[in-house]
Chain A
Amino acid sequence: QSVLTQPPSASGTPGQRVTISCSGSSSNTGSNTVNWYQQFPGTAPKLLIYRNNQRPSGVPDRFSGSKSGTSASLAISGLQSEDEADYYCEAWDDSLSGPVFGGGTRLTVL
């Protein structure tokens, strides 16, 4: 049981816009920024979004993040087949004194 809640799956067709939600509590997403990671099967996670909405160098601007209250969202516009991957949200938890992850969302491009 993950501390942050994500839908287990999401899907979209090429060119579409999809969003993935991440829900937490006052001790994590409600009081700290949210980061997002992308993971392809058999490979290490890669930082996609940090501090709610910042993109590291090299991440396409099709990827965007937002946060409101205790919920955060990752949006992918102009969906491409290569976006098919697992996506994880993560935030610091003040009660646990450490970062916590969501259970991950598998994105399928139909």
Chain B
Amino acid sequence: QVQLVQSGAEVKKPGASVKVSCNASVYTFTSYGISWVRQAPGQGLEWMGWISTYNGNTNYAQKFQGRVTMTTDTSTSTAYMELRSLRSDDTAVYYCARVSGAVVVYFDYWGQGTLVTVSS
């Protein structure tokens, strides 16, 4: 069974950065892209961006451009999402999700989520 295991909860101060990891297993890591989706408390899902695990190409949602960086380490099948200049409204659960399909994509497996709390 495909597994995406994320790093643990984080508490950060406003202005700081956070880096969340997502370790994939039981499939060929470089055959599927990874997206990051976040969910603020009591709110809906918000797509942050996508990274190709094959060549490292990225596509960030406009809202996060300049503040987010997504990377991968193919040697450990791990994807990373770093968000900088954190604000209180960045408090959310951050999910990584495997991107399936080519032209028509969907998120077929999700990590368990990482709670990031931004508070002074």
Q: Do A50 and B106 touch (CB < 8 A)?
A: yes
| CB-based A-B contact count at 8 angstroms | 60
- Closest CB in chain A relative to B105 CB, distance in Å: 7
Q: Do A33 and B45 touch (CB < 8 A)?
A: no
* Residues of A close to B50: CB separation below 8 A: 98
Question: Is B119 in contact with chain A by the CB < 8 A criterion?
Answer: no
Assign chain B's interface to a size class.
20 to 34
* Residues of B close to A46: CB separation below 8 A: 110
Q: Do A104 and B44 touch (CB < 8 A)?
A: yes
If the complex has contacts A44-B112, A45-B95, A98-B59, are A35 and B107 also in contact, measured as CB distance less than 8 A?
A: yes
Q: Digit string of B87-120 for contact with A (CB within 8 Å is 1, else 0)?
A: 0000000010100110011111111110000000
Interface of B is mostly: strand
- For the complex, give the distance between the alpha carbons of A99 and B33 in Å: 14
Q: Do B111 and A88 touch (CB < 8 A)?
A: no
- Closest CB in chain A relative to B89 CB, distance in Å: 15
- Closest CB in chain B relative to A43 CB, distance in Å: 8
Q: Do B44 and A44 touch (CB < 8 A)?
A: no
Q: Digit string of A29-62 for contact with B (CB within 8 Å is 1, else 0)?
A: 0001101010000011111001100001000000
Task: Give 15 new A-B contacts, CB below 8 A, not counting A44-B113, A102-B44.
Answer: A2-B44, A32-B104, A33-B104, A35-B107, A43-B113, A45-B37, A45-B95, A45-B107, A47-B107, A50-B100, A56-B108, A92-B105, A98-B50, A98-B59, A103-B44
